[in-house]
Structure 1
């Protein structure tokens, strides 16, 4: 799994950049309508899911790609649902986003736990997963928040999540560059 992640570090960075762009868009235009929010979220979730599926399909370690496939399918399905039912209410969209954030966050934490034996710096992936879980819980607990607060919360979450993924991706890139000389992560120090 670490070989696949370090080889395709750029996919992790792209996921992070997409999240930051989505979050910035939500904060720059806080008066965004529910329909535009649905389209933005649907596009982000779909692209994020496709990138996760591409990372799973191009990896060599077939035994550990199940989590990437599950996260990819969840993202693609969340994106499709938002496009098929664009008239979804704010509350339904809120629960859809909360469920997606919880599922992807838990999957990222589980993947990071598996990675801790292979690389250093996996805490960034744990942190991105934990931020996703916290975001999902907050959305589920307070569904009556106003549309503006929802947009701000989504935008802030997406930026934090994206920055953490970019940092993790850049750490993977550094590990890939160091690998020929020092080995990969903790295995080199053992």
Structure 2
């Protein structure tokens, strides 16, 4: 598709930066897109479960897969009908994930043979993760918009770094090419 890896890298960086700018400028649009992506995922999941139900030769799996397909269909429709509630639930889910991983990081920090720097980094990341999760639980309404904005800032930084890497790789390729012709 692209003539070189550096061109692919450059386009990936440009796309990431553009998505980041949109996410920062319009966090509500980003949250809405996330809800729509969740709905699409639920519909695809439901369709695959329905397909699995009809490909089974036993009754037990058929009923189970059809039930899962129905649950996924309901979740997808619910996400589209009530996007605000879906965004809040996704934010709370991310908060629960952050708290869980933070607790695990703290446990890892104080288990095993780690040097002080490693222990401090595990503990710091654990505390930051727990703090982030608690903030999302306290204000999930603001949390969804904050997540979209943070995602946007991350995408901008990632995009710019990727663009710089692509330019540096292209320069290096050019220099190698010049050395090879000498």
Q: What TM bracket, shorter-length normalisation?
A: 0.3 to 0.5
| CA radius of gyration, larger in | 2
Choose between structure 1 and 2: higher helix proportion: 2
TM-score (norm 1): 0.40
